[in-house]
Structure 1
């Protein structure tokens, strides 16, 4: 399992090829927020309990801030159009266990 967010088709295909070359199964899952405001969700995520989030926030700011997030979202939408086998799992802010259950259900279909 590689928990990562790829928005570049060539990069995703590279990992897929690596898995298939060693006989592993490759399953692609996109956790998609139900809320249609990913910017707000990103900014609301930092409650001070995760030491990694300030670093992520800094990386995003240095990459262009909200405009970078909007561009990334557009890239993901485009990527999905090229990857029809991608399993899309709905994610509701704050509903970690429900999202995890949906992820497990999606993976059990493999």
Structure 2
């Protein structure tokens, strides 16, 4: 009997490697959908002027895409910082509804390292999305906002006991990816 497809939620602070690991996972697991909500949001016209509405639309589109992909029997990995439980609960409910397995993983480094890693990525990245998020957070008192985001994430993790924690080791993508695979059960 074939295993049920999984909806893998890869949460964590900005800059800890969610997108890198999701991309690698999809590359190594054929037909897995790497469903990056930030990339979907970028497809919404004038999203910068309508941030809250664009975010809601992008998450709704992500769930619709995840539904179609899971129903086709394929895995979905969603790399996304989530400091509130609402989307996580909707994703878990979707997985149950379509008969898929829901796996919630959080990549973590220390608060200080997470803030430093994000700041460095924003400063050096050639990815326009990374630079854009860096500018947004800079206007919102960058390091303090990043620390607050980290704390919100920890609150979510504490409230969700089935969450699997993977330590994000800076500079060790291979080791962190191996830990992710181990947390996923192989």
> Into which bin does the TM-score normalised by the smaller protein fall?
0.7 to 0.9
CA shift for structure 1 position 34: 5.1
Of stretches 20-29 and 32-41 in structure 1, the one that deviates more from structure 2 is 32-41
For the pair 1:104 / 2:181, whether they are aligned, the reply is yes
**Could you give the per-residue CA deviations for residues 2-55 of structure 1, whole angstroms, max 9, x where no partner exists?**
111211112211111111111111000000115743211211224334333211
Q: What is the aligned partner in structure 2 of residue 22 from structure 1?
A: 98
Q: Which has the higher helix share?
A: 2
- Matches for 1:49-60 after TM superposition, within 5 Å: 49-60=126-137
Distance in 2 separating the partners of 1:76 and 1:35: 11
Matches within 5 A, 1:11-90: 11-33=87-109, 36-46=112-122, 47-90=124-167
> How many residue pairs are counted as aligned between the two chains?
109
Larger relative contact order (CA 8 Å, sep ≥ 6): 1
What secondary structure sits across from 1:26 in the alignment?
A: strand
SS for the counterpart of 1:97 is helix
Unaligned runs of 5+ in 1: none
Determine the structure 1 residue equivalent to 2:30: none
Output the aligned Cα RMSD: 1.9
State whether residues 31 and 91 of structure 1, in contact with CA within 8 Å, keep that contact through their aligned partners in structure 2. Answer: yes
Query: Under a length normalisation based on structure 1, what TM-score does the superposition of the two structures give?
Result: 0.86
Q: Structure 1 pair 36/65, CA: closer, same or farther in 2 (3 Å)?
A: closer
Offset of residue 76 of structure 1: 0.8
Q: Compute the TM-score of the two structures, normalised by the length of structure 2.
A: 0.53
Question: 2: distance between equivalents of 1:45 and 1:13?
Answer: 30
